[in-house]
Amino acid sequence: MQLSLVALVALLPAVLAIPASPVADANLPVATSNVAGLHAVARAAGKLYVGTATDVNEFSDTQLTAILENTQQFGQVTPENSMKWDATEPQQGVFTFANADRVAQLARSRGQLIRGHNCVWHQQLPSWVTAGNFNAQQLTSIVQNHCSTLVSHFKGQIWDVVNEPLNDDGSFRQDVFFNTLGTSYIATALRAAKAADPNAKVYINDFNIEGTGAKATAMKNLIRTLKSQGVPIDGVGLQSHFIVGEVPGTLVQNMQEFAALGVEVAITELDIRMQLPETAALLEQQKRDFQTVVSACQAVPACVGITLWDFTDKFSFVPSTFPGFGAATPWDSNFVKKPAFDGIVAGF
């Protein structure tokens, strides 16, 4: 069918009126809690911190920094990208810490803890690592040098030394490290990190290990093996990227089983995404879900703290990673606290 120019022009208002993205219900509910801040609530409940991920790309937003720098709100900071391998050692033996130092300085100047993220991961690797065709001896030395340099530069911190070593079925992830070194790269990284800073807390961090199941069991077996070999391992990070209405029902049991192995537990990357658009019902369920996660941590003494994977929808990675989903954090894109904020407070 062919349309005349006049007909096309007549259609333009209707075309332009089509929303570019899902539109939320009007008059959505907001948080009602009257507290000094989430970190203050967590400390009063006996936990070490509530923190958030952030990075230098966010620091020009004055609304964000006003909240981020409020130590009643957040007592811990995780650099989302600026401590990863491609950002810190883009060329072999050449280390760049400018952006990571900015995040660390912001946190240290306010007495906030820093969670180093991360030493060894299969993503965001420079090509010299992935395509270097190193033999086992060479790659072992590279892992040792990278972890040692990174951890010694940011001493006195908590570190996700090894990030996401497992597949969902509990097998080890195939990457340049495992394919060359087998599982030994995990012990190598942990030992190098601990030697560089004996006061650092060294963790393995992964997703889909929050509830009981094959992957969580594999992580527990890995921790047992490492401990039997005398490898330092202080904690396990449960990333906790959840979907509204689908939070595992075995969080407490699973944390207790990790704690029984002699490691502490942290919720390291918490967000709870929903299929857009937001609705009052979804926000209410999200509130309950945040409360469930936080109350699970509160119920287990070995769970030391909780980190949000950014606190505002404005900078959440969710929409770009999970198309059609979003609204995963306790603050909306305009920095208005959502019911999820109340859920966190109630969880403590």
Active site residues: 164, 269
**CA 40/CA 112 separation, integer angstroms:** 12
**DSSP characters over 73-93:** T-SEEEESSTTSHHHH-SBTT
DSSP H or E stretch at residue 120:
strand 113-120
Q: How far apart are CA 264 and CA 258, in angstroms?
A: 8
Alpha helices (H) along 182-304: 184-196, 214-228, 251-259, 280-299
Angle, helix 214-228 to helix 184-196, in steps of 10 degrees = 60
User: CA 295: distance to chain centroid?
Assistant: 19
Rounded (10°) CA dihedral 210, 243, 295, 234: 30
Tell me if 270 sits within 8 A of 210, measured CB to CB.
Answer: no
Are 164 and 206 in contact by the 8 Å Cβ rule? The answer is yes
Q: Is the peptide bond before 165 cis (omega within 30 degrees of 0)?
A: no
Helical residues (DSSP H) of 229-312, grouped into ranges: 251-259, 280-299
Q: Encode burial over 80-107: b for 16+ CB neighbours within 10 A, e otherwise.
A: bbbbbbebbbeeeeeeebebbbebbebb
CA distance 59 to 182: 39
Rounded to whole angstroms, the Cα distance separating 58 from 329 reads 16
Residue 24 per-residue DSSP state: P
- What is the Cα–Cα distance from 84 to 82, expressed in whole angstroms? 6
